[in-house]
């Protein structure tokens, strides 16, 4: 969210999202995994604003309007690999179709236009969290099948039987 604050204060010197380092080279203007309108609570001033969201390649982008092109500058970007949970939040906000997205340092709230859309966003973001979360590195994997095994020890019954 620091990227969105920086752009708000300084303006954007980027020629487009694909060139923006925060976008990670993601071509958000086409082929989204999910896109649509959500109402988002502001980061600093807790007002609610309707924004166009695009989920693609492990990043959740948001824009002021749905006319997203190569030169569009996202208002914010959330790397889903930093997210821990995504779940319904009607009981927390006391608002219908609400859900929350949590990172280790903050919880962000969103409101969809319908229950089906809320569930689809939760499922899509949840899948993306799983796909893009830190996975175990090769050095951390223990392959029990390929470790050297000690030779099998004879069973006591085999050792005590006389050989013929």
What is the DSSP track for 5-66?
A: HHHHHH----S-GGG-GGGTT--TTS--SEEEEEEEE-SSS--EEEEEEEEETTEEEEESSS
With cut-offs at 50, 70 and 90, classify the pLDDT of residue 45.
confident
83-94 confidence digits (pLDDT tens): 999 999 999 999
- Is residue 112 situated within a structural domain? yes
Strand-pairing partners, residue 147, are none
In angstroms, the CA 85 to CA 123 distance is 11
Output the furthest CA–CA distance in the chain (Å, rounded): 91
Structurally, the chain folds into a number of domains equal to 1
What does the pLDDT read at residue 24?
Answer: 74
Q: What pTM was computed for the model?
A: 0.70
In angstroms, the CA 104 to CA 21 distance is 22
Residues 116-120, mean pLDDT to the nearest whole number: 98
- Is residue 160 situated within a structural domain? no
What does the pLDDT read at residue 132?
Answer: 87
- Is residue 54 situated within a structural domain? yes
- Is residue 21 situated within a structural domain? no
Residues 141-156, mean pLDDT to the nearest whole number: 61
What does the pLDDT read at residue 44?
Answer: 85
Please provide the average confidence, as pLDDT, over all residues in the chain. 80
> In terms of residue numbers, what domain contains 70?
34-132
What does the pLDDT read at residue 35?
Answer: 96
With cut-offs at 50, 70 and 90, classify the pLDDT of residue 133.
confident
- Is residue 145 situated within a structural domain? no
Residues 133-161, mean pLDDT to the nearest whole number: 58
CATH number, domain of 103, equals 2.30.29.30
| pLDDT at position 142 over 50 | yes
- Is residue 77 situated within a structural domain? yes
- Is residue 82 situated within a structural domain? yes
What does the pLDDT read at residue 144?
Answer: 56
């Amino acid at each position: 969210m620091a990227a969105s604050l920086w752009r708000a204060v300084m303006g954007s010197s980027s020629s487009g999202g694909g060139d923006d380092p925060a976008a990670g080279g993601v071509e958000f203007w086409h082929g989204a995994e999910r896109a649509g309108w959500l109402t988002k609570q502001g980061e600093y001033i807790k007002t609610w604003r309707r924004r166009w969201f695009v989920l693609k390649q492990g990043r959740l982008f948001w824009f002021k309007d749905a006319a997203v092109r190569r030169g569009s500058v996202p208002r914010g970007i959330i790397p889903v690999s930093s997210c821990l949970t995504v779940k319904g939040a009607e009981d927390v906000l006391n608002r219908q179709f609400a859900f929350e997205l949590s990172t280790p340092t903050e919880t962000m709230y969103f409101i969809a236009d319908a229950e089906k859309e809320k569930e689809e966003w939760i499922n899509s973001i949840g899948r993306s969290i799983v796909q893009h979360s830190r996975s175990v590195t090769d050095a951390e994997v223990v392959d029990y099948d390929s470790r050297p095994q000690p030779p099998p020890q004879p069973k006591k019954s085999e050792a005590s039987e006389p050989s013929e």
